[in-house]
A and B are shown apart, each in its own frame.
Chain A
């Protein structure tokens, strides 16, 4: 089996041709049979196949962009399920970005953060408060609600707010050891949720349990983004920016410092890595992704309330990171996509199918076992199985390969130590 695969991948024209055929077939599948999510999933899986093929990086990225930006929306647009697919795709994008943020904290720096959803909540509430009349309850200046055109600015604000709170959380917490860190971050996540749930007196900041509704949709040059299909592009662009940033960070000095801290704190300190600054940077950057995505989430849902930001959500994102592979960017993207699609589409569809079966009398599955309710069970099982047997995840993080000859040539051709001039394979 392995031999054939290697041979297949090596033959570029063969693999390229087959891949193209696969994409065309699956997109026609979506186009023609709207409701079949099989074609949808298969088309998304084509991205996964693309990852394994042996083409130069630039070609792969271009192909991925074409598939995501053009093929998918076009194929799905022919029919009723368009918005439903786009909705799922938007949620996948949001969760992928958040999982990448948590990946930096947990996967790269090795700090187990169980309250990650708190930053998401902060971003979402920030946007929600200021784009509805909620802010007029406590802000002494300004004219609220702000219009949707401020959405773009708010993404940056969400980013900065997230980073700020990440640092604020990090400073007291960094003296604490691994297991305790988990509990402290868990406590923090719960505190944020409870506080938001109760912050309607003495001054009404978050409207408590009632949540904030009718949040303004984003506006660009007069177009209002109400439909998930429009949000899709926003999320796609943001996701590309996030992936780019994460890959740059991974290869930078900071990324290597994180890996060192993760493996052995004391040795890293001995090597001169400033422990506190490195950890704070990890927290801040991870939190900033989460905050920015919170803004997008609030704009998409047009309604925020504290029940979206529970401990279960934090654990969901953790499962995504673990499933995909801690520290590995493509792995986390895969893990996040799988979990989100599982949660939002697959489980519901399987439940509906079982319901139809039981209503037509074929099979009687008791209500208690309906798959849509089995979310926790599946997560628990996934966590245990993966932690025990594949703790490296589905697509494990790969270390970077340096071509020694090229490096040697560089050092000899220049007298000074070269800047970040490395190549990598894989």
Chain B
């Protein structure tokens, strides 16, 4: 008897939850039927939980800002724009199942995401099947576009451009002859560090150490001991801000005063929070330009702060531009289709065909693989413990 009661209760609970879930479909349908406007949704997929949540959140908010700014324009064309954020948790399985959900929602015409290359790669196979264009503001692994898929694009630079750019700055400008490389054993960190290492060796520098750390660790004294005994001129770290900040802090505490350089994974305010004063004399290469250098950039940063009460991160600007490109492609597709709602294939091709789009931090022009021809790499230096850093130089293709 008792088990039957518990049973019916359990079943009722499951039903209730699934009804709730189903409500989302019904409410979206009612949204669609509200008025004569057709709904066009753009999804974002980024890690909103997990270690890179700061960056993932920045991507979502930047894309949201861009979308909301253009909602009025699309309303005049008769379309209601909506943002659907998804959390891929940095997990390829979740990214793929979310991609399936996105693909089966026929109101979604594009995806801005992902952050991690390891999630972009399998998820993009799903997007390719459904012909949904994807623009990534942050996936830098070469594999992402090297597969020549029609739907995969990115506005950021590839690892094999960012790494050598950093190497050339390190060897030529900072005159580093002995370099110690540390990487965090993720697809991003390892890809970047390997590209840097290969380029630095080609330029004549000597790699005196190549160690890896684990994401989530807090104590890097072991690796740093190897660093101090190897006495390099520069330390390069391929990885994200959570570990990067700690490495910088602990290195300075050990008396390692040489410049420390990293990639765009360090480009966030949390990096400065964690490292504190130790962040002086560190460099990073980033594919995002400095928003405070142009007037549009400054306006963007202000709008972002007013709306979300948070400061911009590097990826916010990138996601903002990515969404801008996506919407431009959508607009072109609508116009080419005589003002009616286009098909996904049309949007995909229109996005790939974008030429000379001027965003707030970068210009965008996709080549045949989906890479951004205008992707530049900027070198930043931290002279004081404040974010953002100061731009020291830029390297273009």
Per-position 1/0 for A336-371, Cβ under 8 A of B: 001000001110111111011001000000010010
Contact of A208 among B7, B26, B96, B185 (CB under 8 A): B185
Contact of A351 among B87, B186, B214 (CB under 8 A): B87
Question: Given contacts A41-B18, A346-B18, A350-B21, are A307 and B90 in contact (CB under 8 A)?
Answer: yes
Does A423 belong to the interface (CB within 8 Å)? no
**Is A82 touching B104 in the complex (CB atoms < 8 A)?**
yes
**Is A350 touching B121 in the complex (CB atoms < 8 A)?**
no
Specify which chain B residues have a CB less than 8 angstroms from the CB of A359 in the assembled complex.
82-83
Chain B residue, CB-CB nearest to A36 = B22
Contact of A37 among B22, B105, B125 (CB under 8 A): B22
Contact of B185 among A197, A227, A350 (CB under 8 A): A197
Specify which chain B residues have a CB less than 8 angstroms from the CB of A305 in the assembled complex.
92, 118, 187
Which of B24, B29, B185 has the largest number of chain A CB atoms within 10 A?
Answer: B24
CA–CA, A210 and B195, complex, Å: 13
Chain A: minimal CB distance from B69 (Å): 15
Question: Given contacts A198-B185, A350-B21, are A338 and B4 in contact (CB under 8 A)?
Answer: no
Which stretch of A83-91, A107-115, A144-152, A236-244 is in the interface?
A83-91
Contact of B24 among A209, A214, A356 (CB under 8 A): A356
Does B14 belong to the interface (CB within 8 Å)? yes
Specify which chain A residues have a CB less than 8 angstroms from the CB of B17 in the assembled complex.
346, 350
CA–CA, A301 and B122, complex, Å: 7
CA–CA, A38 and B24, complex, Å: 11
**Is B141 touching A338 in the complex (CB atoms < 8 A)?**
no
Which of B18, B20, B118 has the largest number of chain A CB atoms within 10 A?
Answer: B18
CA–CA, A87 and B129, complex, Å: 14
CA–CA, A130 and B249, complex, Å: 43
Per-position 1/0 for B79-120, Cβ under 8 A of A: 000111111011111101110110111100000000000100
Does A213 belong to the interface (CB within 8 Å)? yes
Which of A208, A213, A355 has the largest number of chain B CB atoms within 10 A?
Answer: A213
Summed over the interface, the residue pairs from A and B with CB atoms below 8 Å come to a total of: 155
Does B11 belong to the interface (CB within 8 Å)? yes
Specify which chain A residues have a CB less than 8 angstroms from the CB of B76 in the assembled complex.
none
Contact of B97 among A87, A308, A350 (CB under 8 A): A87
Specify which chain B residues have a CB less than 8 angstroms from the CB of A228 in the assembled complex.
100
**Is A353 touching B23 in the complex (CB atoms < 8 A)?**
yes
**Is A353 touching B20 in the complex (CB atoms < 8 A)?**
yes
Specify which chain B residues have a CB less than 8 angstroms from the CB of A213 in the assembled complex.
121-122, 143, 147
Per-position 1/0 for A369-380, Cβ under 8 A of B: 010110000000
Per-position 1/0 for B129-143, Cβ under 8 A of A: 100000000000101
Chain B residue, CB-CB nearest to A362 = B27
Listed in ascending order, the chain B residues whose CB lies under 8 Å from chain A are 1, 4-7, 10-11, 14-15, 17-29, 31, 48-49, 57, 82-87, 89-94, 96-98, 100-101, 103-106, 118, 121-122, 125, 129, 141, 143, 147, 185-187, 189-191, 212, 214
Listed in ascending order, the chain A residues whose CB lies under 8 Å from chain B are 1-2, 5, 33-38, 41-42, 45, 80-84, 87-88, 91, 194, 197-198, 208-211, 213-214, 226-228, 301-303, 305, 307-308, 338, 344-346, 348-353, 355-356, 359, 367, 370, 372-373, 390, 394
Given contacts A80-B106, A344-B97, A345-B97, 10 further A-B contacts (CB under 8 A): A35-B29, A36-B25, A37-B25, A198-B185, A209-B187, A214-B147, A350-B20, A355-B84, A370-B48, A394-B10
Query: What are 15 A-B contacts defined by CB distance under 8 Å?
Result: A5-B4, A34-B104, A35-B25, A42-B15, A211-B118, A213-B147, A307-B90, A307-B118, A338-B14, A348-B86, A348-B101, A349-B25, A350-B21, A367-B48, A373-B87
